[in-house]
């Protein structure tokens, strides 16, 4: 059967295009303009070419923030993805318990980011926080404000607490979509619990897991509010991630040129990763079809 092509339908996309132009494309073009100029005020600005890009690419502080960002994103992904799958597998599937389970798991997702930071800031305190005081009571000298390892541990724990539910809910929906006949076939074959997971559940979860990894990577790569409230980027710069460095440069020091150049590098990295994930998803779907 021949598919009818009607390109007039593209006009229906026009409102979205205008909206995206106003909210993303024009601001991005402005950032590109800023990145090649030294701006003192709106009327006093000088063209500097690629000078800010050279500075940004050689800035040791920004390179360290970029490295920290990758380490952070990979760390939380390596914890949240398996943990989310585990939580989804353990969640009840029928009756009131299923509804209750869904509500309980979803609670951290409903809390605003700055509140999450504040909760963990208090929770981790050695004097009044339950987590910090409990660790100190059993002899572990825990202080996230002065010890970089403890600060990292707290930021990672906070992110895992906040965002594992998203992965769990995605996996839960993926698991619910597996037809019962697969499990029936597995029972006939006397497949072990592990075999059911390895050969039925995990392959069927691939698509939601890719979406989960993509969402968590992008979100964690742009993380700002929670560590800003929890540690303020410290002790020293040990929990200063890319967004914090960028905000410090753009708003704190008002270095619009270098901050714009850095924003573009940041944007390109995210664009590259998103494209890679998009390509993987599309290829997997094509492989399944064909």
What does the binding site for other proteins look like in residue numbers (CB under 8 A)? 7, 26, 29-30, 32-34, 36-37, 39, 42, 45, 47, 49-50, 53-54, 57-58, 265, 268, 271-272, 275, 279, 283, 286
User: Smallest distance, Å, CB 32 to other proteins?
Assistant: 6
The residue (of 39 and 145) whose beta carbon lies closer to other proteins is 39
Q: Minimum CB separation from other proteins for residue 58, in Å?
A: 7
Q: What is the 3-class SS of 18-67, one letter each residue?
A: HHHHHHHHHHHHHHHHHHCEEEEECCEEEECCCHHHHHHHHCHHHHHHHH
- Measured on CA atoms in the order 133, 135, 138, 142, is the torsion positive or negative? negative
State the minimum distance, in angstroms, from the CB of residue 45 to other proteins: 6
**What are the two backbone dihedrals, phi and then psi, of residue 149, each rounded to the nearest 5 degrees?**
-65, -45
Q: Which of 285, 278, 94, 79 is nearest to 172 (CA)?
A: 94
Let me know: does 233 contact 68? Beta carbons within 8 Å. Answer: no
Between 109 and 273, whose beta carbon lies closer to other proteins? Answer: 273
Q: How far is the CB of 205 from other proteins (least distance, A)?
A: 24
What is d(CA 231, CA 180) in angstroms, rounded to the nearest whole number?
A: 47
Evaluate whether 126 touches 142 at the Cβ level (below 8 Å).
yes
- C-alpha span between 68 and 71 (Å, rounded): 5
Q: How far is the CB of 36 from other proteins (least distance, A)?
A: 6
């Amino acid at each position: 059967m021949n598919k009818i092509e009607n390109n007039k339908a593209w006009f229906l996309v026009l409102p979205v295009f205008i909206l995206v132009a106003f909210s993303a494309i024009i601001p991005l073009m402005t950032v590109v303009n800023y990145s090649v100029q030294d701006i003192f005020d709106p009327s006093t600005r000088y063209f500097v070419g690629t000078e800010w890009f050279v500075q940004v690419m050689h800035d040791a502080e920004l390179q360290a923030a970029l490295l920290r960002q990758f380490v952070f994103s990979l760390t939380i992904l390596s914890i949240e993805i398996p943990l989310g799958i585990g939580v989804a597998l353990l969640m009840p599937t029928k009756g009131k318990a299923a509804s209750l389970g869904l509500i309980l798991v979803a609670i951290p997702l409903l809390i605003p980011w700055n509140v999450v930071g504040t909760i963990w800031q208090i929770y981790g305190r050695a004097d009044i926080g339950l987590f910090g005081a409990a660790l100190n009571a059993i002899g572990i000298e825990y202080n996230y404000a002065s010890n970089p390892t403890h600060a990292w541990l707290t930021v990672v724990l906070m992110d895992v607490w906040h965002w594992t539910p998203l992965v769990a809910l995605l996996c839960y929906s993926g698991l619910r979509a597996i037809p019962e006949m697969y499990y029936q076939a597995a029972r006939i074959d006397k497949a072990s619990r592990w075999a059911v997971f390895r050969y039925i559940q995990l392959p069927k979860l691939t698509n939601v897991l890719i979406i989960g990894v993509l969402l968590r990577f992008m979100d964690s790569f742009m993380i700002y509010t929670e560590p800003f409230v929890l540690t303020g980027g410290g002790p020293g710069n040990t929990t200063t991630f890319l967004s914090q460095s960028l905000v410090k440069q753009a708003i704190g020091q008002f270095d619009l040129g270098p901050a714009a150049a850095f924003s573009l590098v940041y944007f390109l990295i995210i664009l590259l990763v998103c494209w890679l994930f998009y390509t993987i998803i599309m290829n997997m779907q094509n492989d399944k079809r064909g």
